[in-house]
Amino acid sequence: MALKTAVSQDERVRQISWFNRLLSRPEFGALAGAILVFVMFSVFAWDSASNSSGFLGWRAVITWLQFSAEIGIIGIGATLLMIGGEFDLSVGSIIGMTSLIVLAPIVLYGWAPWQAILLTLAVAVLLGWINGTLVNSTGLPSFIVTLAFLYIYRGLTLVVTRALTGGATRVDIQALVGQKGIVDVPQAREFIRSDWLAQMFSGEIWGSPKLVQLLGNIGLIPITERRVLDPETGQRIAQNLPIIDGFPVALGWWIILTIVAIIILQRTQLGNWIFGTGGHAESARNMGVPTNRVKVILFIGTSVFATILSLLQVFETGSSEVLRGQLKEFEAIIVAVIGGTLLTGGYGSVAGAFWGALIYGMIARGTEIVRWMPNDWFRIFLGVGLLAAVLFNTYIRKRATEAK
């Protein structure tokens, strides 16, 4: 007992306060920023007449949560890749290309949705492998290689789409009307969403409609009269239902992928390899880390995350467009940077990217909800937020380093 007391009081062992330990976490700045943005828009959107905030209404919450989830999914891939010391600027073009790959076989060639989804995911793996392999084999910066593929993938998507549609730049589920007994667009949408694999990328999280109904019954979610389609008569009838149908499936994907990525990064050997590869690739390689393989895996992951977002958007909107995903590569990097990830690699947090995506979604949709604030302010807020995040995270790292 005396030995333990002596060790615990050894003046050579410096005690680090809980506050300094908190500052050392890369996600701390993003979490603080998310709380600040949430409070700010809750106040800005306050309506004195109804004594409530439009930002906190269930419909508004679902809107900014879904937007955050979509940008957050690709933000996970960007964060892991940036921690590994690389960038992928082809993300947006991959979203556009894979949206065509999944929908064109279904509406033009009669494929089952699950077949098209598996093909699309396989292509996503191939695209990521190509990016990673070329970065390793050429020795060129990933910024240059993936910038080139941003144009290559977008151009291929444009050429193929025009060839398949006779000059149009989009493929729509409306082309299914007249096939397989489908008589209108709603029936075409239902045909796709009824597929066992497509159900994972469309509609609401499994079980959430029942949860929403339960919350409505006990008064936590408002009930209102809504007109819904009667499956027996095919006509719209009025019913008293919760104001939302359920929680969007994109939200489920975002949460699950975030948890999985955190576990990989913090609890596995691959996570240690990612930090080592991004921190100092040569030193990591000398210690036996397969840095080239790690980079290929990260590029494949980025491509797959982009494709998951593409599938979610296609089955939500029912269309594929050549320009879909434009500028998403930069939005993903913004989310990662706001979340505390260094542009130089070797430092970052998937949890930080989660809060960064939430900040992005709240700002993007909050400026629409606050009536007196022009929508153009969104980019101003985003630019200021990005600069503030970088400065704050730099300060945090400095304080954490001094504390150690």
Hey, is 200 helix, strand or coil?
Answer: helix
User: Which DSSP state fits 195?
Assistant: S
CA 136 – CA 294 distance, rounded (Å): 11
- CA 40 to each of CA 46, 51, 282, 383: distance values in angstroms, whole numbers, following the listed order: 10, 16, 45, 17
Q: Which residue in the block uniquely carries the two structure tokens 């309506």? A: 47
What is the spatial distance between Cα 382 and Cα 369, in angstroms, rounded to a whole number?
16
3-state secondary structure of 47: strand
What are the structural domain ranges in the chain?
22-101+113-147+248-403
User: Long-range contacts made by residues 177-185, C-beta under 8 angstroms, separation at least 24?
Assistant: 179/110, 180/110, 185/318
CB of 56 closer than 8 Å to CB of 220: no
| Joined tokens for residue 97 | 């290309």
Residue 154 CA to its chain's centroid (Å): 20
- The pTM of the full predicted model, rounded to 2 decimals, is 0.90
Q: Where are the beta strands (DSSP E) in 173-271?
A: 223-229, 236-242
The pLDDT assigned to 127 comes to 97
pLDDT > 90: percent of the chain? 51
Measuring CA to CA, which residue among 297, 257, 299, 306 is closest to residue 273? 297
The count of other CB atoms within 10 Å of the CB of residue 122 is 12
Q: Distance (Å, rounded) from C-alpha 334 to C-alpha 128?
A: 21
CA dist., res. 305 & res. 141, Å (int): 22
Instruction: Provide the 3-class DSSP secondary structure of residue 169.
Output: coil
Q: Give residue 74's identity as a one-letter amino acid code.
A: I
Where the chain has pLDDT below 50, the residues are 1-4, 6-7
CA proximity to 109, closest of 156, 176, 172, 160: 176
Question: CB burial class (10 A; 0-12, 13-18, 19+) of residue 385?
Answer: buried
- Segment 91-125, tens digit of pLDDT: 999 999 999 999 999 999 999 999 999 999 999 99
Q: What is the pLDDT of residues 34-56, one digit of tens each?
A: 888 898 888 888 776 666 778 88
The pLDDT of residue 371 is 67
The runs of H, that is alpha helices, within 110-207 are: 113-138, 142-165, 185-193
Instruction: Work out whether the CA dihedral 285, 290, 292, 297 comes out positive or negative.
Output: negative
Token digits of residue 103: 């929908």
Q: What is the pLDDT of residue 6?
A: 47
Single-letter amino acid, residue 354 = F
Task: Report the C-alpha gap between 402 and 56 in whole angstroms.
Answer: 40
373, 44 contact by CB (below 8 A): yes
Q: Is 221 helix (H, G, I), strand (E, B) or coil?
A: coil
In whole angstroms, give the CA distance from residue 303 to residue 150.
12
Cβ neighbours for 323, distance < 8 A, ≥ 6 positions apart: 96, 169
